[in-house]
């Protein structure tokens, strides 16, 4: 039947997605008007207009499109008209399906822009060629878009809403000084052993961000988001996501983030246990490297004995064996933690990570925002209820900023430094000698912790304990401490502010506290501060490099060495140990001496003050400087730094 003699009842299919209209500028109304003019010109009868708005042509699963196909199958229309072929489909595969359906139901397709009509074989051919070219253009556009997006992401332009702890500033994703501490707190809580539920419950109790709807799923999403270590994953829910490394400033260290992921996996395998195992997930079988399981036996006397076993190798090791080996290490670490992590480092960290200038800038912006809000209310732009609601939010932000600025000002006044860490450790060392009972009373050691507290300490400090087997007995070969803990200790140690114990091969037997090189001016200040409390003496000793022997002109029965340190930076000037002798400074006290000028309570509650006006001397001289109350400072710190 010729086209002139056939009566066409047509369905008009205008379609537009938001991006189509922006890019190509034709609306649904314009498409429909063009198709109606064609029908009027060719005397087609319009059955229905199937308007498809805001829907992509990536698939045929479109409401109006499916309705049109149903009407075609029911014989209600025998021709489909589109403004442009890509309005119908942009897929070659879908086009083939449509062509077969049109042929099957004695229908035809006509496109206005391309002047295509499937009534002829030539029209079908050109229609297919047009679709192929359209799909090629789509793929090229997609490639260009992905390339541009990759470049933007690498420069810190993240195409998503800013997650908690970040904000968009000049199109860049940057840490938000108002909320980043919340993220840090979540990671540190989880790293220390708290569960998702406990963290969310705590945040609800504290009404963090004025919210009481914190959920464990929220905590999980934050912990597993790569953005917090500075990375970004684009298309995470697709089959082929793209990973971008170091594209934004991280909020937590890469080491802490990775350790939390490891901890997450371990927690999923050790969920809901009635007994507390100190070294669960920390031990591996020395033979097959399988993680050891835990078991316990309860005797008639009520005592519980814990073991770790390998189901493959049928081997067992007593928990007591590992605990006896490790407790001295833990005591050293808990001392480090109490002095460094809980007292000094938060002060230093507060100065570094919360710049006062940035906070003051943010405070100024919030006050300007407050002024504009008030003006908008007075001008009648917003209602009183809207004004009050927004005013509460702004006032809360201003209050938090002022508190942070105040914390920094107090922190700057306290002026705690790494030198204080060295000082406090030496004071504690002497206190333990002079007042051993009092020292045991004010300090907490491994033996004082409950099983749960011990397990939390192991979780916090240790990543893995390697075992080895000699005959039928096991022993600890190596302890792998967590990277975040080791990194902090190493930085202080390498800069001379943390001691380590070494074995002595000279006229003094046993272990000796040793620290790395410090300039003599700093050593002098350190000694003069110690002398506010104790009769600390200074002496220079020779260390014979090749023989690895110290020669001390001291009587070990009368003297106790506090620490030794190199008088020169031998790591730089004699890194290959070619010199015969290295000179070391020695700090010591006489065992029969009493306190220099302070009573027992003072040396546990106070920390020696700076005494820059006093010149260093090798021999003890009276120091008239008032020390700082350690306990009051500590309590102040606890108050002002609690987030």
CB atoms within 10 A of CB 441: 10
Residue 14: name the closest of 2, 3, 30 by CA. 30
* Helix/strand/coil percentages in the chain, nearest 5: 50, 20, 35
Residue 191: name the closest of 484, 449, 450, 486 by CA. 484
Provide φ and ψ at 467, rounded to 5°: -110, 160
Quick check: helix, strand or coil at residue 155?
A: coil
| Cβ–Cβ < 8 Å for 418, 526 | no
Q: Estimate to the nearest angstrom the gap between the alpha carbon of 248 and the chain centroid.
A: 13
What are the tokens at 349? 């960290």
Residue 356: name the closest of 397, 410, 318 by CA. 410
Task: Choose the catalytic residue: 17, 113, 253, 338.
Answer: 17
* Distance of alpha carbon 614 from alpha carbon 211, whole angstroms: 53
What are the tokens at 36? 């109606």
- Judge whether 111 counts as a catalytic residue: no
For 79-97, give one letter per residue: b (16+ CB within 10 A) or e: bbbbbbbbbbbbbeebbee
CA distances from 456 to 194, 196, 197, 339 (A): 9, 15, 17, 18
Q: How many CA atoms lie within 13 A of 441 on its CB side?
A: 8
| Cβ–Cβ < 8 Å for 522, 495 | no
* Distance of alpha carbon 40 from alpha carbon 183, whole angstroms: 65
What sign results for the dihedral spanned by CA atoms 74, 75, 76, 78? positive
* Distance of alpha carbon 601 from alpha carbon 606, whole angstroms: 8
The residues that are catalytic are: 17
């Amino acid at each position: 039947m010729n086209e002139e003699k056939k009566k066409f009842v047509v369905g008009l299919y205008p379609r537009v997605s938001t991006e189509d209209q922006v890019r190509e500028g034709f609306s649904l109304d314009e498409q429909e008007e063009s198709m109606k003019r064609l029908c009027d010109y060719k005397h087609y009868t319009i059955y229905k207009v199937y308007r498809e708005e805001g829907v992509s042509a990536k698939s045929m699963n479109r409401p109006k499109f499916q309705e049109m196909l149903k009407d075609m199958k029911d014989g209600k229309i025998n021709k489909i008209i589109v403004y442009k072929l890509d309005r119908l489909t942009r897929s070659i595969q879908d086009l083939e399906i449509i062509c077969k359906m049109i042929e099957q139901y004695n229908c035809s397709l006509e496109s206005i822009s391309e002047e295509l009509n499937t009534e002829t074989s030539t029209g079908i051919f050109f229609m297919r060629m047009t679709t192929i070219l359209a799909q090629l253009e789509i793929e090229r556009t997609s490639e260009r878009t992905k390339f541009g997006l990759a470049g933007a992401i690498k420069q810190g332009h993240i195409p998503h809403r800013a997650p908690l702890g970040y904000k968009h500033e000049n199109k860049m994703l940057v840490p938000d000084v108002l909320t980043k501490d919340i993220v840090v707190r979540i990671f540190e809580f989880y790293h220390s052993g708290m569960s998702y539920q406990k963290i969310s419950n705590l945040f609800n109790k504290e009404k963090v961000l004025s919210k009481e709807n914190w959920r464990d799923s929220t905590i999980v999403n934050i912990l597993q988001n790569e953005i917090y270590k500075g990375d970004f994953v684009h298309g995470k829910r697709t089959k082929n996501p793209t990973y971008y490394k170091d594209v934004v400033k991280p909020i937590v260290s890469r080491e802490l983030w990775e350790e939390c992921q490891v901890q997450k996996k371990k927690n999923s395998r050790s969920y809901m246990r009635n007994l507390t195992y100190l070294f669960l997930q920390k031990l591996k079988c020395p033979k097959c490297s399988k993680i050891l399981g835990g078991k316990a036996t309860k005797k008639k006397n009520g005592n519980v004995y814990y073991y770790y076993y390998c189901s493959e190798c049928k081997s067992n090791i007593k928990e007591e064996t590992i605990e006896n080996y490790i407790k001295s290490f833990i005591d050293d670490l808990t001392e480090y933690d109490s002095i460094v992590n809980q007292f000094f480092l938060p002060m230093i960290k507060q100065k570094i990570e919360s710049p006062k200038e940035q906070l003051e800038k943010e405070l100024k912006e919030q006050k300007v925002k407050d002024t504009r809000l008030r003006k908008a209310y007075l001008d009648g732009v917003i209602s009183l209820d809207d004004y009050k609601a927004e005013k509460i939010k702004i006032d809360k932000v201003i209050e938090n900023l002022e508190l942070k600025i105040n914390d920094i000002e107090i922190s700057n006044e306290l002026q705690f430094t790494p030198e204080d860490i060295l000082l406090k450790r030496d004071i504690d060392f002497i206190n333990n000698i002079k007042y051993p009972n009092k020292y045991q009373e004010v300090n907490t050691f491994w033996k004082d912790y409950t099983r749960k507290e011990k397990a939390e300490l192991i979780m916090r400090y240790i990543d893995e304990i390697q075992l080895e087997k000699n005959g039928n007995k096991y022993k600890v070969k190596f302890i792998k401490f967590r990277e975040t803990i080791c990194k902090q200790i190493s930085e202080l140690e390498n800069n001379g502010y943390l001691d380590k114990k070494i074995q002595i091969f000279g006229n003094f037997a046993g272990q000796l506290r040793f620290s790395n090189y410090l300039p003599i001016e700093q050593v002098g200040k350190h000694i003069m501060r110690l002398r506010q409390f104790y009769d600390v003496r200074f002496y220079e000793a020779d260390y014979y490099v090749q023989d690895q022997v110290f020669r001390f002109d001291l009587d070990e029965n009368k003297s106790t060495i506090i620490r030794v340190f190199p008088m020169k930076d031998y790591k730089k000037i004699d890194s290959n140990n070619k010199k015969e002798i290295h000179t070391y400074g020695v700090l010591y006290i006489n065992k029969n001496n009493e306190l220099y000028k302070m009573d027992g309570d003072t040396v546990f509650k106070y920390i020696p003050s700076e005494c820059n006006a006093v010149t260093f001397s090798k021999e003890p001289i009276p120091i008239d400087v008032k020390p700082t109350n350690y306990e009051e400072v500590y309590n102040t710190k606890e108050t002002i730094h609690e987030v």
